[in-house]
Amino acid sequence: MNLDNKTYTLPKRIRKFRDFLFAAPASNHILHTLIVPIVLWEVIFRKREKPHSHARYIQQMLGHMAVYMFYYTFYTEGIWLYPIFKVTYGTKYFFTLHLALAVLFFFYYYAQ
């Protein structure tokens, strides 16, 4: 698996559309970096109440991710939403990738 291949992270047709919308090469970086201070401000200063149980939210999120986004699209359209799943499908890395995504989900969920 070649992780340096840009088509795995951003297919050519999307890259053309992005280049059409944002003329400057730095626009993509600016667009994704500008939000960081705003999000940090909200995380630090906004009061949040901790829910009594996280089970319902986690079940909904994992259910939506696993059933609809990945598998339903693959079985109805025959394509994966992300090319990395096409590359790993049928290998031992497919399960490992999904497991890593689930672990990251729990990490970021409780990091809020």
Same domain, 41 and 70: no
71 torsion bin: left (phi>0), alpha (psi -120 to 50), beta (else): alpha
Same domain, 11 and 63: no
Please list, in sequence order, all residues whose beta carbon lies within 8 angstroms of the beta carbon of residue 13, skipping any fewer than 6 positions away. Answer: none
Same domain, 42 and 6: yes
Per DSSP, the three-state class of 28 is helix
Same domain, 112 and 69: yes
Same domain, 56 and 106: yes
Map tokens 């031992």 to a residue: 92
Same domain, 33 and 7: yes
Q: What is the pLDDT of residue 23?
A: 58
Identify the CA nearest to 97 among candidates 67, 66, 76. Answer: 66
Print the domain residue range for 43.
1-47
Q: What is the pLDDT of residue 27?
A: 67
For 50-74, the pLDDT digits (tens) are 778 888 888 888 888 777 777 888 8
Q: How many domains, the chain?
A: 2
Q: How far apart, in whole angstroms, are the C-alpha atoms of residue 83 and residue 29? A: 22
- The answer to whether the pTM exceeds 0.85 is no
